């Protein structure tokens, strides 16, 4: 079995790839930057024990982390479990996709995983809109190369800033309102956040498609709030909650196949 770890700023997703090369289990935990390898180990053991799984059946692992200190903690833990170093996803190394950017070292590991996964699942060109702590738009052009994209404050980050700094605005449920024109404060806030996020995605994707010179590009939504935002737009061809984890696995698989070819 293989463990794929997506360490995000807010949540960490753990995917277990079984012998049939399919994602057979998935867990989520809050990302805490103060967690040690021992604390992570206790949580991970809890997940496995709950399902009567043996953690020592995990023979390899891959990590995409945007939190360096936690990435190191996961690296130490998985090295101890498997007996060797995990694959650390890094856009400066061979991930099976051409990174057509001047500074690949600036690209987050989750973004390169999204690009690989979307291209392999949906073809090229393809655009991913990832609604996480940040809302990322990642673009794969018709040649299959990763061309970059957009990074902006995520929906919950924007909401928390609004609720914290606007004295008379209280937290509201994160759902699509019935109308864009809000006739209550709650409705106006929900329109601004949810419909606003949808409109922002629509506008940016439209401009990107125009710059690519394409008539039509598949658009994939992923991330924790993708299902909420998708109710306010017909922009997305599909919602794929497992996109990043599958991308981490595909990068691992590419590296293993390449190593196998070199050894033969």
Domains and CATH numbers, the chain: 2-88 (3.30.420.40), 104-246 (3.30.420.40)
Residue 87 pLDDT: 97
Q: Mean pLDDT across the stretch 56-67? A: 95
* Banded model confidence at residue 264, pLDDT cuts 50, 70, 90: low
Tokens found for residue 108: 């987050």
Is 110 an active-site residue? yes
Of 35, 110, 138, 240, the active-site residue reads 110
pTM for the whole structure: 0.94
pLDDT > 80? residue 260: no
- Where helices occur in the chain by DSSP H, the ranges are 37-50, 68-82, 109-122, 155-165, 185-190, 196-212, 226-230, 243-263
């Amino acid at each position: 079995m293989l463990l794929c770890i997506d360490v995000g700023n807010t949540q960490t997703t753990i995917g277990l790839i079984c012998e049939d090369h399919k994602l057979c289990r998935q867990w989520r935990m809050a990302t805490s930057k103060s967690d040690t390898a021992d604390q992570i180990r206790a949580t991970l053991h809890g997940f496995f024990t709950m399902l009567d799984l043996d953690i020592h059946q995990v023979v390899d692992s891959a990590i995409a982390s945007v939190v360096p200190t936690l990435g190191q903690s996961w690296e130490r833990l998985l090295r101890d479990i498997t007996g060797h170093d995990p694959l650390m996803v890094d856009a400066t190394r061979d991930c099976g996709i051409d990174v057509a950017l001047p500074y690949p070292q600036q690209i987050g590991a989750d973004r390169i995983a999204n690009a690989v996964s979307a291209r392999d699942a949906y073809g090229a060109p393809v655009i991913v809109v990832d609604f996480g702590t940040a809302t990322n738009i990642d673009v794969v052009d018709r040649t299959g190369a990763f061309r970059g994209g957009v990074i902006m404050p995520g929906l919950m980050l924007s909401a928390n800033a609004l609720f914290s700094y606007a004295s008379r605005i209280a937290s509201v449920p994160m759902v699509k309102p019935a109308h864009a024109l809000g006739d209550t404060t709650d409705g106006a806030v929900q329109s601004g956040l949810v419909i606003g996020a949808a409109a922002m995605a629509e506008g940016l994707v439209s401009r990107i498609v125009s710059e690519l010179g394409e008539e039509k590009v598949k658009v994939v939504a992923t991330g924790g709030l993708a299902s909420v935002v998708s109710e306010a737009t017909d922009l997305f061809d599909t919602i794929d909650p497992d996109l990043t984890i599958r991308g981490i696995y595909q990068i691992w698989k590419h590296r293993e196949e390449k190593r196998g070819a070199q050894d033969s």
